[in-house]
């Protein structure tokens, strides 16, 4: 997720219910989208914003992508004590928890490294 999108999500999470309702109506008028589509997007944003309130998160590898070697390198960077075989097993059998109770800002950095390596991860 880009910084721009993250900032927008943070701003939306600070809106009151009335302000959020006004935002939804404005977006419907501006882009001609239905309330159902916005409601779906809104529920995803609420899930993300509620998880962003926690100071620590767990990192889950959802998909390793096509370049598994780079993903293994990122995993071993996170946990240097993890054997090569164990790291490979994590990559070969997603979804897997690859780190737990990581500071949110550090977790975002790690997530970027995974995405650069071609993997898909989630912070929970």
| pLDDT tens track for 50-76 | 444 568 888 999 998 888 999 999 989
| pLDDT over 50 (residue 43) | no
63 and 113 fall within a common domain? yes
Range of the domain at 7: 3-52
41 and 19 fall within a common domain? yes
94 and 65 fall within a common domain? yes
How much of the chain exceeds pLDDT 70, in percent?
A: 81
pLDDT score, position 112? 92
> For the CA atoms of 72, 119, 110, 14, what is the dihedral angle to 10 degrees?
-160
Residue 77 and residue 71 in contact, taking contact as beta carbons nearer than 8 Å: no
């Amino acid at each position: 997720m880009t910084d721009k999108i993250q900032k927008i999500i943070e701003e939306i999470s600070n809106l009151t219910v009335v302000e959020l309702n006004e935002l939804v109506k404005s977006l419907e008028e501006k882009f001609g989208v239905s309330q159902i589509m916005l409601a779906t997007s809104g529920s995803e944003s609420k899930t993300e914003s509620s998880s962003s309130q926690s100071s620590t998160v767990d990192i889950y590898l959802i998909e390793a992508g096509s370049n598994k070697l780079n993903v293994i390198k990122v995993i071993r960077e996170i946990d240097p004590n993890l054997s090569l075989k164990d790291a490979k097993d994590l990559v070969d059998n997603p979804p897997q928890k690859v780190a737990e109770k990581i500071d949110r800002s550090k977790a975002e950095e790690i997530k970027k490294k995974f995405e650069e390596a071609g993997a898909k991860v989630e912070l929970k």
